Amino acid sequence: MLDSMRLFPSDPAARAVAAKLYETVRDLPIVSPHGHTDPSWFAVDGAFPNPAALFIQPDHYIFRMLYSQGVSLESLGIPQLDGKQQADPREVWRIFAKHYYLFRGTPTRLWLDYSLSTLFGLTERLTPENADHYYEVVAAALETPEFRPRALFEKFNIEVLATTDSPLDTLEHHKAIRESGWKGRVVPTFRPDPVIDAEFAGFRENIDKLGEITGENIGSFKGYLNALRNRRAFFKQMGATATDHGHLTAQTADLDDAAAEALYQRILSGSSTPEEQKLFQAQMLTEMAGMSVEDGLTMQLHPGSIRNHNKKLYEKFGRDKGADIPGPTEYVRSLKPLLDRYGNDPRLTFILFTLDESTFSRELAPLAGHYPALRLGPPWWFHDSPEGMMRFREQATETAGFYNTVGFNDDTRAFLSIPSRHDVARRIDCAFLGRLVAEHRLDEDEAFEVAKDLTVNLVKKAYKL
């Protein structure tokens, strides 16, 4: 099911170089600086409940595709806001197998085939006929100690894995991991959206809780900022090296103290307009950059996702259920207030992501190719694919080079997909480098250095790992 030369160039000369490069990075440790796995998995280290809960229900790449072809989320046992999750796991798996053909040509198919083959020895294509056999093999494996989360973490050769966490999180699972004596490194990431985005569900209650947790007076903008500093310090104490911001746009602002205080009071009152809410988020990006200069946490911005686009699904199933859709995003003018203030400060590392590929060569690469504070994040979400990765290298390298990028982020909730996603990224980077060598645009010894940098060195540097 898996060809050893998959994803390498078809040109024989470039293919040969890519294969040699890949051999030097294939077994390097996985550094996963941004993801959404559940830290409780590693704190409790219990068995995953069943194949459907492991492969299907946490992976929006899978159930969004099935939903697009008329498969209901209820039939897949996707948890509902009212607590309902009534679906037999084996039947969920059968539905998945029946529709496996939908993933032809997608990166999801690459990830799934890799996991099923390398972890479970299942080398035939998944079909309705062999679905029960697949289920039984996977289910039996999940009952063994070798398939507990910590054992898989070590089997995958993960050096460090970052989760993404609410600013209100107690980080109790991270604390339990640290105190358990286990050597695996799992660190939190500070994601302040619940207390910055006025449209976030429960926003006002979240602000109140922020004040309760920190003991700061959130009735003033100064107290609110101090509360955020307090939580950032706590996250850093618990091992965090980065923050993450999931704003709709890349808009930033730099208001004076009086204007910022007045805006915050409007936000706090609950009577703010949509435009004021956007301005507040813009101001808070600049405030977060300033705090990163102070405390050294690397800053990430993931804009451009129009979230919860399917209102019906959102109301029934909640956030992050596959109905987020990319929209066009502008960076050059939007980021200028922040960059005017902090873009030249070597203490800031600000990693930019996009769902709008048209901005790579036009905006993002020129920005990152100039400002010392800026770096380019890898292809994200809908573009986390062989084609997306190759387009990124082709569009960004000519202006930003390799060294204004930060390696690869798997950005996944599906734990078993981590090694397969990193394998795809390593193969594509080696394919791109192999082509440059074959075209005499890069010396082969340099290509070996770059391959290692793209795999581990740049990510460790950018995320201070």
Residues 85-123 pLDDT 10s: 679 999 999 999 999 999 999 999 999 999 999 999 999
* Residue 386 contacts residue 428 (beta carbons within 8 Å): yes
Domain assignment present for 4: no
Average pLDDT over residues 12-40: 97
Q: What is the pLDDT of residue 391?
A: 97
Q: Are residues 172 and 316 in the same domain?
A: yes
Q: What is the pLDDT of residue 58?
A: 86
Q: Are residues 59 and 155 in the same domain?
A: no
Domain assignment present for 109: yes
* Residue 92 contacts residue 76 (beta carbons within 8 Å): yes
Domain assignment present for 206: yes
Average pLDDT over residues 45-61: 93
Q: Are residues 240 and 328 in the same domain?
A: yes
Q: How many CB atoms lie within 10 A of CB 142?
A: 18
pTM: predicted TM-score of the whole model, two decimal places: 0.95
Q: Are residues 100 and 238 in the same domain?
A: no
Q: Are residues 243 and 330 in the same domain?
A: yes
* Residue 60 contacts residue 105 (beta carbons within 8 Å): no
Domain stop point among 146, 170, 185: 146
Computed over every residue of the chain, the mean pLDDT equals: 96
Backbone phi, psi, residue 30, to 5°: -85, 125
Nearest Cα to Cα of residue 266 among 285, 191, 274, 284: 274
Instruction: Residue 241: give the domain boundaries.
Output: 12-48+147-462
Q: Are residues 213 and 346 in the same domain?
A: yes
Domain assignment present for 7: no
Residues 190-235 pLDDT 10s: 999 999 999 998 999 999 999 999 999 999 999 999 999 999 999 9
| 354 to 231, 250, 295, 380: CA distances (angstroms) | 27, 10, 25, 7
Residue spans of alpha helices (H) in 77-163: 89-98, 107-120, 131-142, 149-155
Buried b / exposed e along 236-257 (16+ C-beta atoms within 10 A) = bebbbbbbbbbbbbbbbbbbee
Q: What is the pLDDT of residue 127?
A: 97
Average pLDDT over residues 146-167: 98
Residues 285-309 pLDDT 10s: 999 999 999 999 999 999 999 988 9
Q: How many CB atoms lie within 10 A of CB 181?
A: 6
Q: Are residues 60 and 155 in the same domain?
A: no
Q: What is the pLDDT of residue 86?
A: 78
Domain count, the chain: 2
- Whole-number percent of the chain with pLDDT over 70: 100
Q: What is the pLDDT of residue 319?
A: 81
375 pLDDT higher than 80: yes
Domain stop point among 99, 120, 146: 146
189 pLDDT higher than 80: yes
Domain stop point among 120, 146, 172: 146
Residues 61-77 pLDDT 10s: 999 999 999 999 999 99
Q: What is the pLDDT of residue 222?
A: 98
Give the model's confidence band at 22: pLDDT under 50 very low, under 70 low, under 90 confident, else very high: very high
Q: Are residues 362 and 283 in the same domain?
A: yes
Residues 316-338 pLDDT 10s: 998 878 788 999 999 999 999 99
Q: Are residues 118 and 236 in the same domain?
A: no
Residues 353-373 pLDDT 10s: 999 999 999 999 999 999 999
Q: How many CB atoms lie within 10 A of CB 23?
A: 11
One-letter amino acid for residue 92 of the chain: V
The residue assigned the tokens 């980077």 is: 429
3-state SS assignment for residue 328:
coil
